Amino acid sequence: MNFSPEVFLSLSLWGYALGAGGGLLLLRRERLGNLLCFGVAAFSALNGLLAALLFLAGGAGAATPGFELFPAPLPYVHISVRLDPLSAFFLLLVSLLTLAIGIYSLGYARGYFGRKNVGVLGALFNALVLATTLLVTADNIWLFLIGWELMALAAYCLVSFEHEKAETRQAGVLFFIMSHIDAVCIIIGFLLLYQAAGDYGFGSLHAIGARMTPGRRDSAFLLFLVGFGIKAGVVPLHIWLPAAHPVAPSNVSAFMSGVVIKTGIYGLARVTFDFLGAPPLWWGVTVLTVGTISAVLGVLYALMEHDLKRLLAYHSIENIGIILMGLGAALIFLHTGHPLLATLALVAGLYHTINHAVFKGLLFLGAGAVLHATHTRNMEEMGGLISRMPQTALFFLIGAVAISALPPLNGFVSEWLTYQALLQGFGTTDSLMRLIFPLSGAMLALTSALAAACFVKAFGITFLAQPRSERAAQAHEAAPTMLVGMGLLAGACIALGLFPVLFVRLLDPLTQQLTGQQVSGQLSAAHGLVLTSLTERSGTVSTLGLSLLGLCLLPIPFALSWVFGRGTRVRVGPTWDCGQRTLTPRMEYTATGFSKSIRMVFKALFRPHREVQREYDFSPYFAKTLRFDSHVEEVFEQQIYRPVRVMILRASRRVRALQAGSIHAYLLYIFGTLVLLLLLLAT
Amino acid sequence: MNPDPLAVLAQTVLLIVLAPLLSGLIKNWKAKLQNRRGARIWQPYLDFVKYLRKDMVISEHASWIFRVAPWVIFLTALVAGLMVPLVTAQAPLGLFGGALAVVGVLALGRFFMALGGLDPATTFGGMGSSREMTIAALAEPAMMLAIFTVATMAGSTNLGQIVLAEQEPGWKFLDAPHALAFAAMFIVLLAETGRIPVDNPSTHLELTMIHEAMALEYSGRSLAFVEWGAAIKQLVLMALLANLFFPLGLAPGVTLASFGAGLAFLAAKLLVLAGAVVLVEFTNSKLRLFRVPDLLSAAFMLGTLALVSTFLFR
C-alpha cells in the first residue's frame, strides 16, 4: 500500500465521519460513546497530522491532484479534496489541536455523564472537525461553502450545548446570525470570482484577480475581508466571539478559539494571496490597520474581564489582530515589490497562527480543567489552585508565558518575526505612509505588555494565593487524559519556541506557493541555532541559546548562596498582616482590583461605571452592608450594534403590516406580483 | 561572531560586581544633595551579603512560584546583560538576541516578579504587581519606538551592529532623532528602574510603593536575589542607554588595553547618567499613580517624533 498524504487525509476524513455517525448510534451508551467519539477523533487527527507533515516535509510545493471522496449525488458538486501547501499547513493546525483536544475530552466529557448526552457532544464535535478539515482541504467553491456552513451549524449546536442557561441560548443565536452574515459575504465574493473564472475549481481560480475589473476585485476583497473577518473575530465584527466561546463546553471553546477562527485566516490568505493576487496598496494598509486595532482593543477588553473564559476569548481577538498585522504587512510588501520581506511577514503571520492555536487551545483546556474542578468561570471565586491542581497550573503557566510573548516560548518567536518585518518595512518606501510600520510595532509592544499584565492577573488570581471560595478550596486535579491533552500542547509551545528554525523549514513550500520565495535558509544561521531576520546583520535571536545560557548561569546564584548562606534555614510563617489577627482571602487583591489602574488609564475607552451603596449606623467608615457595582461600557454593542438592531426591528415592524393574516390580501399580493413579472417579461 | 567564553565570563562578573556599586553610588549622591551624609557606596554589597546569611521566612500561602521567582529575576537580568555591549562593541552574546530579546527577557523577569507579588496572598503584593504591570505596559511602546529609531537608522536590531554603525565616521550623536529617542528612553529608564517621579526606591511600607510592595514578603536569600537582580537590571538599562546613544570608547576587540580603556569610558558614562538620574530624583517629587501615564505618553510622543524626524532631518 502506498503511504501518501492523500491516504492519510482520506483516512482522517472518514474517521471523523465515523465518529460523528457512531456518536449518534451510541446515544444511550455514554461511556462507550465517549470513548468511541473522542478516541476516533484523536486517531483521525493523528492521520491528518501525518498527512500534513508528509506533504510539507516532502517539500513538493505543487498541489496534489484533487480526488473525490465519493461521487456526489448532485450535479456540479464534487466532494473532492486536495492538498496544497496552504491547505496542508492548516490541516496540520487542525489535526494537532484535534489530537490534543480529543485526548483531553476523554476525561473532560465524563463531567457530563448523567447530566447531558455525551454521544451528541461527541458526534457534533466530530462533525465540527470534519467540516473544518473539509473546508481547509476543499478543492472547489462548493465544498468550501458546504464545509463552511456545516462548520457554522455544528459550532452553533455545540455553543448551545448547555442550552438550559439563557446566556448560552442568547450567545448561540448571536453566533448563528453573525455566521450567516459572513456566509452571505463569502458567497457573494465567490460568485464574483466564479463570474471571472467560469469554473468552481480552486485550481482555475488561481490569480483570477488579474482578469477582473478593479472595481470587482476591490469589492470581492472587501466582501471577503468582512466575511472572513467575522469568522476570525476582527474588531468591530467580533462581538459574537466573547459571547459564544465562553459558554461552549471547554473542549469546544478550545477548538473554536484555536481552530475555527483560524479558518477566517485561511480564507483570507487563500483568497488574497492565491486568488486575487497583486494587491493594491490599500488592501495591505487596511488589513494592517484592522489588525493593529483588533490587537490593542482585544487585549484591553480582555483585561477588564474576570470571567476566565471570556478573558481568553478576548485574547483570541488580540492574537487574530497580531496575525493580521503579519498578513497586512505581507500584502503591502507585495505591492511595493519586496517579495522577500513579504515572505518574512507572511512567515511571521502564519507562525503566529499556529502558535496562537497551540497556546490558546492549551489555555482553554486549562480553563476547562479549572471550570471542571471549581464549577465557576468567575476568577474572583478562585485562587490557590496551584497547590490543588499543580500540573494544570504548570501547563496554564506555560500557556500564559507563551501568549504574553515572553522568551523562550513560541509567542515570542512569532512576535519577534513580526517586529522584524515591520521594522524592515520602514525602509521600503519614502512616503509618510511608512510611519505605519513602526507605529504598528509600538502598538504591538503595547499589546504584548498588556497581555503580560493580563496573564499575570489570569494566572495569579486563579492559581496563586488563598482560595477565595469554598469551591476553590475543594478543587481537585484534572483527570489524567485531560493532563495528557494539555501536556501535548504545552510541549508544542516549548518545541515551537525553542526550535523555530526547524519549523520555518516546513513553511517553505507554503511561501513558495504564495509569494514565490523560500526563506528558511536565510532565516537560520549558526548551524540552525539562531533565527535571523533574513540577514544575520539585521537581527538575530536564539531562544534555545538564551535558555541554555540561563541554565549555564544557574550555578552563580547557587554559588553565592552556598558561599555566604551556608546553614541558613527556611521557615514557613504567616504572611505579614499589618497586625490584624488573620489574613483572610477577602483581603487579597481581586481581578477587578488588579486591572483597576489600567481601567483608569484608558477610561476614555472603557467609560467605567461605578456605584457604591453603603448602609451605616453612625459613620460611613463603619458600613453595615456595602454594595459595589462596577462595569465598563461595551462600546461596540452600544454604539454600533444596538442602533442597527433597533433599525432592523423597526423595519420589520413596518413590514409586519403587510402580513396582516387576511387571505384576501395575500391573494392580492400574489396577483400583483404575477402581473408585475409578466410586464417585466413583456418588456 | 561565535561567543567567546572569556568575554562572557568577564561580562558576567562585571554585571554582578558593578551593579550594587551603581545603586550605592546613586543612593550616596542623593543623600549628599539632601544634606545627609548617606551610606557608603559599597553598602549594597554588605546588604546583599547580609541577606544571603539570613534565614528565610516564606509565607504559608506561597507556592513554588514564590520561591522560583527570585532566581528567574536574577538570571533574566544577567542574560539580558550579556546581550548588551558593556565594554566591547560586540556584546559577548549579541548573536543570541538584540534589542527585542533584551526587552523580552527583562519582561520575563518582570512577569515572575509580579506573580511573586501575588503569591503570598497579601494586599500589598497585589497592589505592587498591578501597578508594575500597568506602568510596564505603558513604558514598553515608548521604549520600542526609541529602539526602532536607532534600529532603523542602523538597519539592525542587533545592539552590536547598531553600535558599530554609530561608530562609523559621519555619525552625529546629537541629531534630532537621537536626541528625541534618548529623551524617550531616559523617561522609560526612570520608570523601569523604579525611580522618582514614577516610584520612590526609598519608601518602605507605604501605600505608594511599587517595586517594594512586590518584594515585601521576600526575605533572606530570596530578597538578596530580588534586589541584586533589580540592581543588575538597572545597570543593564543604563549601559544600554549610555552605549546605544554615545558609543564612545567601546573596545573594538578583546585585548587587555582596549578592555581597560572601554571600562574607563563605561565608568565615565555611567557616572554622568547616574548624576542625571540623581538630579531628576532630587528636583522632582513622586507623581500620583494616575499622573504617570501622562509622563509615559510624553515619552511615547518623543519616540514618535524621533521616528518622524529620521526622515525630516536628513
- Cell match 486563579: residue? A462
Whether residues A474 and A355 share a domain: the answer is yes
Query: Residue A681: what residue type?
Result: L
Partners of residue A461 in chain B, C-beta under 8 Å = 118
Cα separation, B304 vs B310, in Å, equals 10
Report the predicted TM-score, pTM, of the whole model to 2 decimal places. 0.95
| A639 secondary structure, DSSP code | I
Cα separation, A97 vs B16, in Å, equals 44
Query: Residue A266: what residue type?
Result: Y
Residue-wise pLDDT tens digits, B237-261: 999 999 988 888 787 766 777 888 8
Residue A507 and residue A351 in contact, taking contact as beta carbons nearer than 8 Å: yes
Nearest to A446 among B137, B220, B293 (CB): B137
Partners of residue B134 in chain A, C-beta under 8 Å = 453, 597-598, 601
Residue B311 burial (CB < 10 Å; 0-12/13-18/19+)?
middle
Asked whether residue A354 is assigned to any structural domain, the reply reads yes
Whether residues A340 and A446 share a domain: the answer is yes
Partners of residue B304 in chain A, C-beta under 8 Å = 439, 442
Q: How many domains does chain A have?
A: 3
Whether residues A661 and A626 share a domain: the answer is no
Nearest to A453 among B105, B133, B142 (CB): B133
Q: Which of A127-131, A649-653, B162-166 is the most confident on average?
A: A127-131
What is the residue range of B21's domain?
5-312
How confident is the model at residue A91, as a pLDDT? 95
Selection from A411, A453, A264, A409 nearest residue B130 by Cα = A453
Residue-wise pLDDT tens digits, A342-391: 999 999 999 999 999 999 999 999 999 999 999 999 999 998 999 999 99
- Which site among A594, A599, A605 would you substitute to test the B interface, given the most B Cβ atoms closer than 10 Å to its Cβ? A594
Query: Residue A376: what residue type?
Result: T
Question: What cell numbers appear for B195 in the block?
Answer: 525611580
Tell me the torsion sign for CA atoms A121, A122, A127, A128. Answer: positive
Helices and strands (DSSP H and E) totals, chain A: 31, 8
Whether residues A294 and A429 share a domain: the answer is yes
Whether residues A597 and A657 share a domain: the answer is no
Interface membership of A307 toward B (CB under 8 Å): no
How confident is the model at residue A62, as a pLDDT? 63
Whether residues A288 and A403 share a domain: the answer is yes
The nearest alpha carbon in chain B to A393 belongs to: B65
Greatest CA span in chain B, whole angstroms?
Answer: 61
Kindly determine whether residue A568 and residue B130, on different chains, have CB atoms separated by under 8 Å: no
Asked whether residue A69 is assigned to any structural domain, the reply reads no
Whether residues A594 and A666 share a domain: the answer is no
Partners of residue B118 in chain A, C-beta under 8 Å = 456, 460-461, 464-465, 589
Angle between helices A30-58 and A5-25 (to 10 degrees): 170
Interface membership of A598 toward B (CB under 8 Å): yes
Whether residues A627 and A678 share a domain: the answer is no
pLDDT band at B92 (very low <50, low <70, confident <90, very high): confident
Interface membership of B248 toward A (CB under 8 Å): no
- pLDDT, average across residues A167-196: 93
pLDDT band at A608 (very low <50, low <70, confident <90, very high): confident
- Which site among A418, A464, A588 would you substitute to test the B interface, given the most B Cβ atoms closer than 10 Å to its Cβ? A464
Helices and strands (DSSP H and E) totals, chain B: 11, 1
pLDDT band at B75 (very low <50, low <70, confident <90, very high): very high
Whether residues A297 and A342 share a domain: the answer is yes
Three-class DSSP category at B119: coil
- Which site among A325, A531, A534, A570 would you substitute to test the B interface, given the most B Cβ atoms closer than 10 Å to its Cβ? A570
Whether residues A545 and A662 share a domain: the answer is no
**Taking 60 as the threshold, does the pLDDT of residue B140 lie above it?**
yes
Lowest mean pLDDT among A528-537, A596-605, B66-75, B167-176: B167-176
How confident is the model at residue B254, as a pLDDT? 65
Cα separation, B207 vs B124, in Å, equals 8
- Which site among A413, A433, A531, A540 would you substitute to test the B interface, given the most B Cβ atoms closer than 10 Å to its Cβ? A540
Residue-wise pLDDT tens digits, B270-291: 999 999 999 999 999 889 888 9
pLDDT band at B16 (very low <50, low <70, confident <90, very high): very high
**Taking 90 as the threshold, does the pLDDT of residue B301 lie above it?**
yes
B residues 200-229 lying closer than 8 A (beta carbon) to A = 216-217, 220-221, 224-225
Kindly determine whether residue B114 and residue A443, on different chains, have CB atoms separated by under 8 Å: no
Whether residues A623 and A534 share a domain: the answer is no
- Which site among A382, A406, A582 would you substitute to test the B interface, given the most B Cβ atoms closer than 10 Å to its Cβ? A406
Residue A293: count other Cβ atoms within 10 Å of its Cβ: 17
The nearest alpha carbon in chain A to B213 belongs to: A576
A residues 568-587 lying closer than 8 A (beta carbon) to B = 568-577, 583, 585, 587
A residues 6-35 lying closer than 8 A (beta carbon) to B = none
Asked whether residue A144 is assigned to any structural domain, the reply reads no
Whether residues A372 and A520 share a domain: the answer is yes
Interface membership of B290 toward A (CB under 8 Å): yes
A residues 366-385 lying closer than 8 A (beta carbon) to B = 383-384
**ipTM given for this complex:** 0.96
What's the whole-number average pLDDT of chain A? Answer: 90
Residue B85 and residue B97 in contact, taking contact as beta carbons nearer than 8 Å: no
Partners of residue A530 in chain B, C-beta under 8 Å = 95-96
A residues 409-468 lying closer than 8 A (beta carbon) to B = 412, 416, 419-420, 423, 426-427, 430, 435, 438-439, 441-446, 448-450, 452-453, 455-457, 459-461, 463-466
Cα separation, B284 vs A661, in Å, equals 78
How confident is the model at residue B170, as a pLDDT? 62
What is the residue range of A618's domain?
608-633
Kindly determine whether residue A538 and residue B97, on different chains, have CB atoms separated by under 8 Å: no
Question: What cell numbers appear for A84 in the block?
Answer: 496544497
Q: How many domains does chain B have?
A: 1
Kindly determine whether residue B108 and residue A435, on different chains, have CB atoms separated by under 8 Å: no
Cα separation, A624 vs A158, in Å, equals 45
**Taking 70 as the threshold, does the pLDDT of residue A561 lie above it?**
yes
Cα separation, A197 vs A275, in Å, equals 10
Residue A161 burial (CB < 10 Å; 0-12/13-18/19+)?
buried
